[in-house]
Amino acid sequence: MVSSKDVAKFAGVSQSTVSRVLNNPRLVDAKTFEKVTKAMKELNYRPNSIARSLVKQQTQSIALISGPLHNPFFVETTTSIVNYSKERGYNVNVHFENFGDNMAVYQDVLNQKVDGIILSSILYEDPIYEELIKSEVPFIMFNRKHKKNGHYVEMDNVQAGRIATEHLLSLNHRKIVWIGGPLSMTTFKGRFDGFKEVMLEKGIEVSDHNCKTTDTSKSDIKKVLQEVLAVKERPTAIFAATDSIAIYLIDLLIEKGYRVPDDISVIGVDNIALSQHNSFQLTTVGMEEEKDLGRIAIEHLIEIINEAPADFINKTYKNKLYNRSTTKKI
Amino acid sequence: MVSSKDVAKFAGVSQSTVSRVLNNPRLVDAKTFEKVTKAMKELNYRPNSIARSLVKQQTQSIALISGPLHNPFFVETTTSIVNYSKERGYNVNVHFENFGDNMAVYQDVLNQKVDGIILSSILYEDPIYEELIKSEVPFIMFNRKHKKNGHYVEMDNVQAGRIATEHLLSLNHRKIVWIGGPLSMTTFKGRFDGFKEVMLEKGIEVSDHNCKTTDTSKSDIKKVLQEVLAVKERPTAIFAATDSIAIYLIDLLIEKGYRVPDDISVIGVDNIALSQHNSFQLTTVGMEEEKDLGRIAIEHLIEIINEAPADFINKTYKNKLYNRSTTKKI
DNA sequence: TTCTTTTATGAATACGTATTCATAAAAGAC
DNA sequence: GTCTTTTATGAATACGTATTCATAAAAGAA
């Protein structure tokens, strides 16, 4: 391991001068600069980022706690976050949500020094919120949020739920089943509330038989779909709370011999890129804004890191219907 | 920022003792241990990982340079790598291959102190190899490899190419087009070589019109497919060099009104999880081994970090046909 | 010339931890 | 009781950098 001291000795200058060559070249004589630069090259010197972090009290790295990549939504956000961070000179430490024990993931992140945290994994009533606040590391939530506020960016989940439901109703569907994930996540809660509101406005009851929550795993979704189809009067439409769930449901339906949308309509939420160029064109609800939430959030986070704003950043984006070809009038 | 010195003062002991409480509790008296632990809790103390890294000369973090996540293969490997690393106490710094300028990505990685590097992004004749060697950071390549060896794990790409081609030939296909990516990547080169070998053995010529390379982007694949279908005697089968390409091709074909496999057969390579539970069941070639290459590679990398083996780890896994439903006899 | 300002550099220090070395106190051996 | 070993702790140091402070040399002003 060659250090700045080695370079200094080699070039016949002090370590301070070597450091200045890197950080403040205008303070050093052209002749000296040349010597030192040559020595660096000669010795294949690379500044030790750890030592630099220690003295600068910043690591130029960000922790991402993401939902699982088998959900294409998180594929997009992770890509955005990693690439934009890099552009801005930050490294990204990636962690995945662990449904069994998220606390362990958080502890991991907090024990590692980072300049900021970006997370999609928080629950509406998550005790980790206090830990994050106590740690004093800037953090932003995207997609999901916490009841105590904090910085966050999200879509208007209730509105999304309303739009999807209104669309299905406008196509004359009445037997509609909502299939989503845990209501402890604000995305699912909001989208469900929107569904429920509109259904009740239309005078349709919402209960266990037309509202199904899963743990978002493929096996659980499969099980739930089985239940839904087993009923004597099977639904004519499914409102999947995410595109990821919608896509998997459609795969299952096709496998079982159903035609979508002829036999059954399916609508999702998120408008993930995949929904536009698949063998089927998924009808979905998504943000009017074209940047994805990951990208929006990481831009804000870096801004927060550099400027420490007094107020919380809270953005809730409006949605619209992306009417494609997995829903149909009956 | 509360330091071990603060804890020491609060507990009325020296900083050394605080450090010992964390790293060698058996060296400290039970009474003292209690006092210090309480002080830590009281002050909400978290050891500074940067300072620790500096003195220990290890960061407990690994850099991953991955292919893009829009290829589901890398979704699987990234998930494996991040999760397994976490299990073993390592953090993962994620970077994505940048086709325009990969050198910038590598420089980024080398400027950041990590204990090891795992990469899928290397080319057969990549100048970065020398840089990696010079940096003295342990690294392993997965999926792709370099002509100069180094640690790597891969599938037998030539064999995969042979199996896929033999399968299509056994179904009486003769007009077969190979669609892949840059031959500077060993995956594509090997799979193409296998294809070519078998075709030539059968006496079928391989030239520009039945061998198409893309940059693996959707737009380029689309363009190439157009060319392929525009020929008067259009192919009856397509050998897609990766499942990712295969899946996208099938989407495009269906969009254009072709039936797969009735009008045209498609086979892929990789056996990604997605290929098994999609609306279509992709016929593909994949490893006999059930662990994915990312997982295999990260296990080896951590072993290399801890044991510095004398010899290079070189593993080439054998493949088999996963005969599902996107290929058909004619 | 003489005094002041600027430029270029090195010495010293700080960042927060782990670890070695020295030592005082306690425990054990006899 | 004395001598040896063990236990517990603090002081000092190292990790590799950035930065402040001091100072010598050079340049500019008069």
Question: Does A1 contact B at CB distance below 8 Å?
Answer: yes
The pLDDT of residue A280 = 79
Nearest nucleotide, CA B23 to C1': C18
- Measured distance CA(B184)–CA(A271) in Å, rounded: 35
CATH 3.40.50.2300 residue window(s) in chain A: 59-154+291-317, 157-290
DSSP annotation of A174: -
- Please tell me which residue of chain A has the smallest CA distance to B85: A95
Say how many CB pairs under 8 Å bridge A and B.
105
Structure tokens at B209: 């019109």
Percent composition of chain A: helix, strand, coil (DSSP 3-state, to 5): 45, 15, 35
How confident is the prediction along chain A (330 residues), in pLDDT tens digits per residue? 899 999 999 999 999 999 999 999 999 999 999 999 999 999 999 999 999 999 999 999 999 999 999 999 999 999 999 999 999 999 999 999 988 788 999 999 999 999 999 999 899 999 999 999 999 999 999 999 999 999 999 999 999 999 999 999 999 999 999 999 999 999 999 999 999 999 999 999 999 999 999 999 999 999 999 999 999 899 999 999 999 999 999 989 988 999 999 999 999 999 998 777 667 789 999 999 999 999 999 999 999 999 999 999 999 999 999 999 999 998
> What percent of chain B has pLDDT above 70?
99
pLDDT at A225: 96
Nearest CA in chain A to B104: A86
Instruction: Give CATH superfamily name and number for B58-154+291-316.
Output: Response regulator (3.40.50.2300)
- Within 8 A of A47 by CB-CB distance, chain B residues are 111
**In CATH, A4-47 is 2.60.40.420:** no
Measured between alpha carbons, how far is residue B282 from residues A224, A283, B169, B173, B292 in Å?
25, 24, 17, 17, 18
Contacts of B118 (CB under 8 A, 6+ apart): B62, B63, B64, B65, B81, B139, B140, B141, B142, B294, B297, B298, B301
Provide, in whole angstroms, the distance separating residue A23's CA from nucleotide C9's C1': 15
Site from A42, A57, A74, A112 to mutate, B interface, most B CB atoms within 10 angstroms: A112
How many percent of chain B have pLDDT more than 90? 91
Question: Which positions on strand C lie below 7 Å from a protein C-beta?
Answer: 7-12, 14-20
| CATH T-level fold of A157-290 | Rossmann fold (3.40.50)
B54 and A57 within 8 Å at the Cβ level: the answer is no
Bridge partners of residue B266, in order along the sequence: B238
Q: Which nucleotides of D are covered by protein (CB under 7 A)?
A: 7-12, 14-20
Q: What is the distance between the alpha carbons of residues B195 and B168, in angstroms, rounded to a whole number? A: 10
The CATH superfamily label for domain A59-154+291-317 reads: Response regulator (3.40.50.2300)
**Partner A, chain B 94-113, Cβ-Cβ below 8 Å:** 94-96, 105, 108, 110-113
pLDDT for position A99:
80
- Convert the pLDDT of each residue in A4-56 to its tens digit: 999 999 999 999 999 999 999 999 999 999 999 999 999 999 999 999 999 99
Which residues face A212 on adjacent strands?
Answer: A179
Report the 10 Å Cβ neighbour count for A64: 29
A18 CA to C12 C1', in Å? 16
d(CA B164, CA B168): 6
The count of residues in chain B is 330
Taking CA atoms, B185 is separated from A297, B115, B119, B152, in Å, by 34, 26, 13, 14
* Residue B300 CB neighbours (<10 A): 21
What residue of B is the nearest CA neighbor of A250? B279
Task: Please tell me which residue of chain A has the smallest CA distance to B218.
Answer: A277
CA of A155 to C1' of C22 (A): 64
CATH 1.10.260.40 intervals, chain B: 4-47
- Chain B residues whose CB is inside 8 A of the A87 CB are none
Residue B277: pLDDT band with limits 50, 70, 90 = low
CA A172 to chain centre: 34
From B157's Cα to the closest Cα of chain A, the distance in A is: 26
Contact A134 B53 (CB under 8 A): no
Least Cα separation, residue B117 to chain A (angstroms):
14
Report the residue from A75, A113, A278 with minimal CB separation from B75.
A75
Q: Which residues pair with B155 in a beta bridge?
A: B317
Which chain A residues have a beta carbon less than 8 Å from that of B1?
57
Cis peptide before A127 (omega within 30 of 0): no
- Provide mean pLDDT across the span B69-75: 94
Domain with CATH 3.40.50.2300 in chain B: 58-154+291-316, 157-290
